[in-house]
């Protein structure tokens, strides 16, 4: 390096020779352009932009110039260094983009690989449909009531007007508990919840009661000794069979689709009077299969109607057993089998699938059936 120029000698160090400066810039730019990746660019930076680079040397040689020449030389060197640094920056940005792209390309996966690492849960359709029914009734102002499955005989029979020697009492194939005088049974229907509700709640009463019930049937494709019912009960001033029929039609449409209605047939239950069997219009064929052998319907056996449950006006004797004056209040009640509802709603053909606990069956229904 030249010594400091204190004597204002007109000298021009070689490094500041414009031709040399230009050559250094050219060499730097071509090295930068030639750098194909970030390490190569780092090397080019070391050679052409570091403290030991020709341009850095040129910058230091400015001190050797007479004061009058310093400004012009400084400007020239500054421009040269600026050009090199700008090229470095641009090249670095371009190389970074290229590098990111290369990595992303190399990280490509087969997204069709299935990740079934964690278990997936599901709910039993008996319970999801019970909640579905309860929710429907909650939306029209009914409460939800549950109760014990091992029930006092008075609640299961006597209070429901099924007296001790009534044929219905054996008709229902009851599971009796313990000694003959235990006074307790496994409830044969959800109707004792009518009694439990009416004993604790003053009218107006509007409730639905889903629950598990028991009859001594052997398990086969269409029967199970342990099954589920949903009971509906309304007791208020001025309720009539028109309210009963209207509510059942609304229930049918809610569960099986707009326009599906019910049909009532006179029947007998000790705890309702008048009583009726509830038939559901076949939601699969809507009656079109009746008398039409070309279009048979498996859901209703081409009958057009499906037996759904029982219903009626609450028998005044039941109201009196609960301390309610039947001259002031009337009520209606209905009960449907949940398994039955589920079987024809989902096309389940074998009851055993509902009770055996095979996880493959439940899993198909997911979280909400």
**Does 112 engage in binding with another protein (CB under 8 A)?**
no
**Does 6 engage in binding with another protein (CB under 8 A)?**
no
Residue among 63 and 274 whose Cβ is closer to another protein: 274
Q: Which of 151, 189, 209, 340 binds another protein (CB under 8 A)?
A: 151
CA distance 91 to 32: 7
CA distance 204 to 242: 17
Stretch of residues binding another protein (CB under 8 A), selected from 22-30, 59-67, 100-108, 322-330:
322-330
Radius of gyration of the CA atoms of the chain, in A: 45
Query: DSSP character for 332?
Result: E
Q: Which of 213, 197, 271, 207 is nearest to 233 (CA)?
A: 207
> Is 338 within 8 Å of 196 (Cβ atoms)?
no
Chain positions 120 to 149 lying near another protein, rule: CB under 8 A, are 120-124, 126-127, 131, 134, 137-138, 140-144, 148-149
What backbone torsions phi and psi does residue 210 show, to the nearest 5 degrees?
-85, 150
CA distance 332 to 238: 11
**Does 159 engage in binding with another protein (CB under 8 A)?**
yes
Stretch of residues binding another protein (CB under 8 A), selected from 5-13, 25-33, 309-317, 344-352:
309-317
At closest approach, how far in Å is the CB of 39 from another protein?
33
**Does 3 engage in binding with another protein (CB under 8 A)?**
no
> Is 127 within 8 Å of 366 (Cβ atoms)?
no
**Does 81 engage in binding with another protein (CB under 8 A)?**
no
Q: What is the DSSP pairing of strand 143-144 with strand 205-214?
A: parallel
Site string for another protein, 18-57 (x = CB under 8 A): ----------------------------------------
Question: What residues does 233 pair with on adjacent strands?
Answer: 207, 333
**Does 245 engage in binding with another protein (CB under 8 A)?**
yes
Q: Which of 23, 46, 199, 202 binds another protein (CB under 8 A)?
A: 199
Q: In what order do the strands lie in the sheet with 226-236?
A: 143-144, 205-214, 226-236, 330-337, 305-314, 272-281, 262-269
Q: Which of 256, 308, 332, 344 binds another protein (CB under 8 A)?
A: 332
Q: Which of 6, 52, 108, 164 binds another protein (CB under 8 A)?
A: 164
**Does 194 engage in binding with another protein (CB under 8 A)?**
no
Q: Which of 50, 216, 222, 349 binds another protein (CB under 8 A)?
A: 216
**Does 352 engage in binding with another protein (CB under 8 A)?**
no
At closest approach, how far in Å is the CB of 224 from another protein?
9
* Number of residues lying near another protein (CB under 8 A): 109
CA distance 183 to 179: 9
Residue among 138 and 221 whose Cβ is closer to another protein: 138
- Please classify residue 106 by burial: count the beta carbons closer than 10 Å to its beta carbon, then call 0-12 exposed, 13-18 middle and 19+ buried: exposed
């Amino acid at each position: 390096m030249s010594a400091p120029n204190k004597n204002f000698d007109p000298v021009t160090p070689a490094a500041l020779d414009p031709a040399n400066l230009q050559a250094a810039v050219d060499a730097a730019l071509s090295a930068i352009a030639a750098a194909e990746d970030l390490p190569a660019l780092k090397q080019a930076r070391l050679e052409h932009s570091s403290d030991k680079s020709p341009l850095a040397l040129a910058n230091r040689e400015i001190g050797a110039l007479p004061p009058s020449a310093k400004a012009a030389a400084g400007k020239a060197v500054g421009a040269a260094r600026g050009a090199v640094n700008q090229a470095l920056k641009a090249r670095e940005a371009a190389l970074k983009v290229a590098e990111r792209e290369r990595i992303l390309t190399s990280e490509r996966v087969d997204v069709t690989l299935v990740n079934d690492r964690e278990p997936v849960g599901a709910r039993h359709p008996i319970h999801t449909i019970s909640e579905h029914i309860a929710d429907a009734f909650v939306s029209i102002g009914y409460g939800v009531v549950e109760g014990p499955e091992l029930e006092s005989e008075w609640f299961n029979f006597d209070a429901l007007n099924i007296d001790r020697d009534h044929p219905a009492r054996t008709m229902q194939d009851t599971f009796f508990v313990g000694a003959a005088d235990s006074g307790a049974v496994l409830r044969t229907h959800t109707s004792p919840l009518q009694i439990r509700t009416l004993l604790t709640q003053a009218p107006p009463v509007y409730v639905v009661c889903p629950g598990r019930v028991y009859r001594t049937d052997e398990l086969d494709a269409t029967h199970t000794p342990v099954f589920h019912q949903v009971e509906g009960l309304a007791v208020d001033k001025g309720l009539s069979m028109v309210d009963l029929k209207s509510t059942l039609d609304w229930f049918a449409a809610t569960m099986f689709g707009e326009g599906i209605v019910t049909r009532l047939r006179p029947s007998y239950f000790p705890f309702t009077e008048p009583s009726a069997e509830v038939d559901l219009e076949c939601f699969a064929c809507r009656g079109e299969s009746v008398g039409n052998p070309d279009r048979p319907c498996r859901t209703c056996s081409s009958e057009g109607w499906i037996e759904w449950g029982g219903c009626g006006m609450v028998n005044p004797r039941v109201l009196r057993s609960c301390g309610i004056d039947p001259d002031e209040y009337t009520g209606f009640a209905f009960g449907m089998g949940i398994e039955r509802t589920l079987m024809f709603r989902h096309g389940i053909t074998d009851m055993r699938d509902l009770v055996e606990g095979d996880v493959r069956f439940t899993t198909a229904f997911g979280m909400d059936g």
